[in-house]
Amino acid sequence: MYLWIKAFHLVAMVTWFAALFYLPRLFVYHAMARDKGDTLAMEYFTVMERKLFRGIMTPSMIAVIALGAWLLFMAPGFLSQGWLHTKLLLVLLLVGYHHMCLAHMKRLAAGTCTKTHTYFRWFNEAPVVALILIVILAMVKPY
Binding-site entries for heme = 9, 87
Dihedrals phi, psi of 4, to nearest 5 degrees: -65, -45
Residue 132 CA to residue 16 CA, distance in Å, equals: 14
Q: Where are the alpha helices (DSSP H) in 37-123?
A: 39-52, 58-74, 82-110, 117-123
Helix axes 2-36, 58-74, angle to 10 degrees: 150
Q: Which residues are annotated as a binding site?
A: 9, 87
